[in-house]
Structure 1
Amino acid sequence: MKGKNNSYDTLVEAMEALKKQGYKHNFRISDKGLMVEGKEKKFDAIDVELHEFHRFEGNTNPADMSIVFAVQTSSGEKGIVVDSYGVYGSEVTSKFMNKVAQKQFDTHR
């Protein structure tokens, strides 16, 4: 079943479900504004599609917020990007994700 944005209760639950859907790579956004995995894989925003995102607040501290993005590269690699959300979120990650193709509402993926 295809997930919907914000459809999980915990970050761990979302990450496990997304992994079962094939989002197996753990990407991050570098200081240079590229999505990377290790030293070998580097992607510009034009090479990435956003399929889903899920936001979470900490149970004990509402300021402890995170977001997980389910993405796919132009070469077909599916993975996730995890970041803090809100005041503590990465500006670099936010700028990058605003540039990627927004496919989270596309029913023909």
Structure 2
Amino acid sequence: MQHKTHYDTVSKAIDALRLQGYTTDFNIEENVVACTAGRFAAKDFDIVDVYRYEGNSDPADEAAVYAITSSNGVKGILVTGYGASADISDAELLEKLAKA
């Protein structure tokens, strides 16, 4: 995965990804990535790009913005904490997000 651009803030990354067609909001629910179109295990989606942000003074401000495409073609965005603030218990899902 090669980054084309790095955006200054999480909100700028989200705005730019929405203009590229990543319009669905993904969330982590019960160890899957979920949206209104369905629920996807780690094997059922691809991470197209990722942008990581670190807080200036507080490690709890760490965030990652993922551009995701699901196995059925849904394009969207997942925003998560990472590092100490990650709250993911599914090992396969966590591994996929960490390697991105």
Q: TM-score, normalised by structure 1?
A: 0.74
CA distance in 1 between partners of 2:54 and 2:41 (Å): 29
Runs (5+) with no aligned partner, structure 1: 105-109
The residue type equivalent to 1:50 in the other structure is I
Of all paired residues, the percent bearing the same amino acid is: 31
Residues 73-94 of structure 1, C-alpha deviations (whole Å, 9 max, x = no match): 1111100111112101123377
User: Is 1:37 paired with 2:35?
Assistant: yes
Report the 3-state secondary structure (helix = DSSP H, G, I; strand = E; otherwise coil) of the residue aligned with 1:46: helix
Aligned to 1:107: none
- Quick check: 2:88–2:94 contact (8 Å CA) kept in 1? no
Runs (5+) with no aligned partner, structure 2: none
The within-5 A match list for 1:11-22 is 11-22=10-21
Higher helix share: 2
The residue type equivalent to 2:84 in the other structure is V
CA distance in 2 between partners of 1:55 and 1:5 (Å): 14
User: Is 1:79 paired with 2:83?
Assistant: no
Residues 36-92 of structure 1, C-alpha deviations (whole Å, 9 max, x = no match): 114x51112211001000011224x34111111111011111001111121011233
Residues paired across the two proteins, number:
97
The within-5 A match list for 1:1-109 is 4=3, 7-31=6-30, 33-38=31-36, 41-59=38-56, 61-63=57-59, 64-92=61-89, 95-99=92-96
Q: TM-score, normalised by structure 2?
A: 0.80
CA distance in 1 between partners of 2:93 and 2:84 (Å): 17
